[in-house]
Every structure is written in structure tokens, then in C-alpha cells.
Amino acid sequence: MNLVSKFFTAREIASGATAVSGLAGEMCYLLEGETGALLIDTLTGAGNIRAFVRELTDLPVTTVLTHGHWDHASGAFDFPECRIHPFDIPVMYDSPLDDRMNFANSLKNKKPDFPCLHIEDFTLPKPVKTIPLYDGRVFDLGGRKIETIHVPGHTKGSLVFLDSVSRAIFTGDACQTNTQLFLPDSTTVEEYRESLVRLKTFSDRFDVLYGGHSGAAVPGRIIDEAVELCGLIMVGRDDADETDLHERNCYYAKKRGVYCEPLDGTLVNIAYKKEGILRQK
């Protein structure tokens, strides 16, 4: 179903699979089976994502989070419970309202019809029943089973969700054009590479990835490119393009364009910190 509201835009990307975009282009996904639905991520908490999802489906909805960062998890406070890897529960509760408002308003100057946002438009953090979610958990939606895969990297508790019906994985920020590994809750590049090598073992069951900041389908080869790029970083053969991002010093593995996309025509770029390349012995 395609649906537009003040805060959200929904469009069908496959049979029983809907991509929902927030005001700044952040993404969540609704997967529907015969007896249940799975909501993957919940956006910034601008608008009521729970009410919007109810317009999309009458099925019972289970809410899961790819990771705890506020641009993907803050809408979880609209729900009575959510499932998240335990490593990312503290991350989920770090949800500063000013940052969320600035992010949600980031396209205001480019869109003349952009809504005027107020504090009352945002869901505020509150205690939510957080159910631990681990690698290997399968959600049976009736005719559609979604498998949980732990991919530590962007955060230590990052999860991706494999849907064999649409032959897609839903990755949040785990692997994308602008993959960030320099944050306080990120793993080392070495550990991230190990996560990706394991993720590749599932590659016979998916063709594309859907990430947390673009509703476009990304070819599965991005994982191979990311594994290779991690290897270059680990031996010091990357471009090491220095910059400041989110008030932190970091390096991009490849020369980058306006949106941090690699300029060499490949799919993935990785931002990292020098002291976060190799696992501590």
C-alpha cells in the first residue's frame, strides 16, 4: 500500500513489503505475512509511527530494531514493547530531542511544503519493555519467516533481518554507502569484517539490501566490496581521507562525494578512527 501523511511516506517495494520514510529520508520497513507483521525500525519519533503503521495493516505487529541510534529507534517509544539486541538498549535511551528535531528538519530549506515541527510532534523517551533479540531468532509471520542475523560493526548490537520471500535483507546502518565505524559504540574494522564474512554465508538467500537511509534496493555485492575495503583499511592501503563528522575526527576509506559516496564508482564507503582498526589483543 502507498500512503502519505504529514510525517511519513509509505510505498510497496515487494509483495507484502512496505518501505516507510521519515521526514529526513530515514527508513523503516513493514513486512506482512498471513497472520502477523514485522516492523523493522521506528524512525526518529517525529509523528506517531505506531498510528501510521496501523493504517497500513490490520495484522498484529511485532516491533524490532536494527540498532539503538535515535534516528532509527526513537519511534519505539510509541509502542508498549520492542525487540533489540541487549548491547544496544543503552544506545536506544540516548535520544536527545534537539538532535532529533534538527535531523527531522534537515530538508526544510529544500522542500517548500515541509511541515513546521514543534516539540509536541516528537515522541519523548520513556520506559519501554525491551525484549532481548539475538542472532538466529526467526519470526514466523504465516507463510513468511524472517531470520535475525547479528552483524556487529556500526554498533555492537547491530542486527539485520533476512526475508527469503522477497530475497532481501533489511540492514539499518549495518552496510551502506556511508558506513560509520568511528562512533563510541562501534566495533573495530577487523571485527566488522568478520561480521560481513559471516553475513556472506547467507548470500544464496538474498539478492538486495534495503538500508536505513535510502529506500533503494542495493545489490548484494556491496557486502563483498565492504569486506575488501575493510581489508585495505587493515593494511593501510585505503585513501584515509580525513574529516570531522558528528563532532568527531575520522577517516573515510575512499575519496568521497557530497553524500560520502565513494568516487570510484563502487557501492560502499567506510568511516573509521585510527585507533579503531584492529581488535585489541
Q: Please report the pLDDT score of residue 1 as a whole number.
A: 66
Residue given cell 524512525 in the structure block: 43
Q: For residue 181, what is the DSSP state?
A: -
The average pLDDT across 110-137 equals 89
pLDDT tops 80 at residue 111 = no
CA distance 90 to 86: 8
Distance CA 190, CA 232 (A): 11
Phi, psi of 9 (to 5 degrees): -130, 130
Cα 149 from Cα 160, distance rounded (Å): 5
The pLDDT, as a whole number, for residue 148 is 98
Q: Name beta bridge partners: 156.
A: none
Q: How many CB atoms lie within 10 A of CB 213?
A: 19
Question: Residue 10: which pLDDT band, with cuts at 50, 70 and 90?
Answer: very high
Alpha helices in 57-188 (DSSP H): 70-73, 89-92, 97-104
pLDDT value of position 109: 64
Nearest 5 degrees, angle CA 88-CA 155-CA 76?
A: 40
Q: How much is the mean pLDDT over the chain?
A: 95
Q: Residue ranges of the domains in the chain? A: 3-276
Kindly indicate whether the domain formed by 3-276 is annotated with CATH number 3.60.15.10.
Answer: yes
Instruction: For 161-191, write each residue's pLDDT tens digit.
Output: 999 999 999 999 999 999 999 999 999 999 9
Task: Kindly report the pTM of this predicted structure.
Answer: 0.96
Calculate helix-pair angle for 221-234, 189-200, nearest 10 degrees: 150
3-class DSSP state of 225:
helix
Q: If DSSP codes are grouped into helix, strand and coil, which group holds residue 34?
A: coil
- pLDDT > 90 in the chain, percent: 88
Q: Enter the C-alpha cell of residue 135.
A: 542472532
Confidence of residue 246 (pLDDT cuts 50, 70, 90): confident
List the one residue out of 137, 123, 120, 126 whose CA is nearest residue 40: 137
- What CA–CA distances, in Å, run from 141 to 28, 37, 234? 18, 6, 41
pLDDT score recorded for residue 253 = 98
